Homo-oligomer: A and B are copies of this chain.
Amino acid sequence: MLTTAFSPHDHSHCITTAINHAQDLCADRSVRLTPVRQRVLELVWHSHQPIGAYELLASLAKEGFNSAPPTVYRALEFLSEQGLLHKLESINAYVGCCNPDTPHQGHFLLCQACNQAQELDSQYITLALKHSAEQHGFEIQSHTIEIVGTCQGCLDKSKAVEYKI
């Protein structure tokens, strides 16, 4: 079994790492990780679940940031362009990306029980997509791969309940 977002872990460490990483990466690329942008990234990482734009906006408002929609959408756009987060199209929510150095679009496992998301970057899936596209003479530019279901931890919990009955 691999380590995933679904497994228990020290999430504050994830956040710190992600933010430091983002700072370095933005410095390298000479783009500005401004206060709003950094704060949005922190909030996205701080949430254990994919988070929506308006929820982010509410948090920003509480903290004294400007709270009109364009503020958060601009930050999300910037972070997305820099590969620092991904949008989950099927639920209109955003998650931090663990591997922003190499541009990519991930494949996601979404648990409907705990509402957490795990990013994958499966070569099997990538190859299968390529293969299917080639069969149709189709040239791939981007993709949305979101798998909804139940994660290991939630399956274990529901089994535990079952046995106690």
A-side residues, CB < 8 A to B, are: 1-2, 4, 6, 89-90, 107, 109, 111-112, 118, 120, 122, 124-125, 127-129, 131-133, 135-152, 155
Contacts and interface: CB of A to CB of B under 8 A. Distances in A.
Given A143-B146, A146-B144, A125 B132 contact: yes
Contacts of A147: 129, 132-133, 138, 140, 142-144
A55 to B, nearest CB: 19
Given A141-B112, A145-B144, A136 B90 contact: no
Contact of A138 (B109, B131, B142, B146): B109
Contacts of A139: 149-150, 155
Contact of A152 (B6, B128, B137, B150): B137
A2 B122 CA distance: 27
Given A1-B136, A137-B151, 5 more contacts: A2-B136, A128-B128, A138-B149, A138-B151, A139-B155
Contacts of A150: 138-139, 141
A4, A6, A129, A141: residue with the most chain B Cβ atoms closer than 10 Å: A129
13 contacts: A2-B136, A89-B90, A89-B146, A90-B144, A124-B127, A125-B125, A125-B129, A136-B151, A138-B147, A138-B149, A141-B148, A143-B145, A145-B145
